[in-house]
């Protein structure tokens, strides 16, 4: 159960995604986003791409699930940018949070197990 600096950075970026969503949804008039759902979608897309860049390739069911969630995120981002609607933006945020959670759980499950080596 070892998490890396990349996991921490991805968690911070995911928190920024959620914060960006709430800033747009609640019309906090934050710089760059304001109350615009389209600008929020653009910022969330950029943060999602940055988070994706921190990922590590793998094989197995978790990787296929992450790939599917990633493609869905891209589709939702395009729809949110095109329509400016809150619904695809909300679904995009849920998808990005799910991506982050599944990725972190995968890293926790595949961490190095050195307990047996230490005890010997």
108 vs 24: CA distance, rounded Å: 33
Contact predicate 20/43, CB 8 Å: yes
Matching residue, tokens 């197990």: 113
One-character DSSP codes across 46-105: HHHHHHHHT-----SHHHHHHHHHHHHHHHHHHHHHHH--HHHHHHHHHHHHHHHHHHHH
> Taking each helix axis from N to C terminus, what angle separates 86-109 and 37-53, rounded to the nearest 10 degrees?
20
Flag whether pLDDT at 118 surpasses 50. Answer: no
Residue-wise pLDDT tens digits, 91-107: 999 999 999 998 888 87
Q: What is the pLDDT of residues 70-92, one digit of tens each?
A: 999 999 999 999 999 999 999 99
Range of the domain at 98: 5-119
Domain count, the chain: 1
Distance, in Å, from the CA atom of 107 to the CA atom of 78, rounded to the nearest integer, reads: 29
pTM to 2 decimals? Answer: 0.84
Q: Residue 34 pairs with which residues in a beta bridge? A: 30
């Amino acid at each position: 159960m070892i998490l890396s600096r990349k996991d921490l950075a991805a968690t911070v970026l995911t928190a920024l995604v959620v914060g960006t969503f709430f800033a747009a949804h609640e019309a906090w008039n934050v710089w760059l986003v304001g109350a615009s759902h389209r600008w929020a979608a653009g910022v969330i897309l950029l943060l999602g791409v940055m988070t994706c860049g921190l990922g590590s390739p793998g094989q197995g069911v978790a990787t296929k699930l992450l790939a599917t969630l990633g493609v869905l995120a891209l589709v939702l981002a395009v729809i949110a940018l095109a329509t400016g609607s809150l619904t695809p933006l909300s679904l995009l945020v849920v998808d990005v949070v799910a991506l982050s959670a599944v990725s972190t759980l995968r890293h926790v499950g595949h961490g190095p197990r050195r307990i047996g080596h230490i005890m010997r």
